[in-house]
């Protein structure tokens, strides 16, 4: 399915006249293609989608929507690219943050881009841990600003929750605090999914997935397993959940029952 979408996406990109704005078909195809790459946990396909959006950007260099999706592709691929090629990941991270900056230059109150930039800054700490002292407060301020702009945005809550989970407890982070944020992200994402089924309304499976990770960090393996199953119901075949996260949680539950 992904390959068929890829052919349609890139064929459309190749045939489009340079002066034409991105079409809804091109955007929707690219978004769904990214969803499938995420489900497969395939960073190469995520980067292929990013290249497709970048090709469209040549005709609209300042397009907020294209720059946003280029940045999101980077955020999706970065953790996996970092494991295999740190220099390439560092470059990808820098370019993705720059894409967010282009969105915000055009739309300073774009809550999704504000939160996504903060999420990318968090990932950049893998290349420069010492920057945490300066970036930490900036990221916290960004999440607060994005939340104020759009309190009902599930993706903002998702990204804020991931940040909270990774923050030390003594500065307001950790699983207990993150759980409250993920619970809100899930409620908002589930409600939003009932109104908007487009690929652009991403993050619902992520909210359940990360809530499961949060529960596992707290040692609540029953809740973790339940959240992972919910994520799989939304994104069937999700490799990270089906092959790693859920089996690990079920193993922990079985070990606890055997004691």
What is the tens place of the pLDDT at every residue in 127-144? 999 999 999 999 999 999
**pTM for this one?**
0.90
The answer to whether the CB of 224 falls within 8 A of the CB of 192 is: no
Strands (E), 20-130: none
What is the tens place of the pLDDT at every residue in 156-210? 999 999 999 999 999 999 999 999 999 999 999 999 998 988 888 999 999 999 9
The CATH homologous superfamily to which domain 152-259 belongs is Tetratricopeptide repeat domain (1.25.40.10)
Equal CATH topology for 1-148 and 152-259 = yes
pLDDT confidence bin for 20, thresholds 50/70/90: low
Which DSSP state fits 187?
Answer: H
Side-chain half-sphere CA neighbours of 220 within 13 A: 14
In the chain, what are the domain boundaries?
1-148, 152-259
pLDDT attached to residue 144: 97
Task: Report how far residue 176's alpha carbon sits from residue 225's, in angstroms, rounded to the nearest whole number.
Answer: 17
The CATH homologous superfamily to which domain 1-148 belongs is Tetratricopeptide repeat domain (1.25.40.10)
Tokens, residue 44:
């190469």
What is the tens place of the pLDDT at every residue in 35-85? 999 999 999 999 999 999 999 998 899 899 999 999 999 999 999 999 999
The alpha carbon torsion through 173, 193, 200, 65 (nearest 10 deg) reads: -70
Of 41, 53, 39, the C-alpha closest to 6 is 53
* 60: exposed, middle or buried (Cβ count in 10 Å: 0-12, 13-18, 19+): middle
């Amino acid at each position: 399915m992904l390959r068929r979408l890829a052919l349609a996406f890139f064929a459309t990109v190749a045939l489009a006249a340079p002066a034409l704005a991105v079409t809804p078909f091109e955007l929707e195809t690219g978004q769904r293609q990214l969803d499938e790459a995420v489900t497969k946990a395939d960073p190469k396909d995520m980067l292929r989608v990013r290249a497709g959006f970048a090709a469209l950007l040549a005709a609209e260099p300042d397009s907020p929507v294209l720059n946003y999706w280029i940045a999101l592709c980077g955020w999706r691929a970065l953790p996996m690219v970092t494991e295999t090629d740190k220099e390439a990941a560092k470059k990808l991270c820098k370019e993705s943050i720059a894409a967010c900056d282009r969105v915000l230059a055009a739309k300073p109150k774009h809550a999704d881009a504000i939160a996504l930039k903060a999420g990318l800054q968090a990932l950049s700490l893998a290349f420069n841990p010492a920057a945490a002292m300066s970036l930490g407060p900036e990221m916290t301020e960004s999440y607060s600003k994005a939340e104020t702009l759009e309190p009902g945005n599930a993706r903002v809550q998702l990204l804020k929750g991931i940040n909270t989970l990774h923050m030390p407890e003594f500065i307001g982070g950790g699983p207990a605090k993150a759980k409250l944020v993920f619970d809100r992200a899930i409620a908002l994402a589930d409600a939003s999914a009932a109104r908007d089924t487009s690929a652009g309304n991403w993050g619902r499976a992520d909210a359940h997935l990360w809530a499961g990770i949060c529960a596992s960090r707290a040692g609540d393996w029953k809740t973790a397993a339940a959240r992972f199953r919910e994520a799989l119901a939304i994104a069937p075949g999700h490799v990270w959940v089906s092959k790693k996260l859920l089996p690990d949680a079920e193993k922990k539950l079985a070990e606890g029952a055997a004691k």
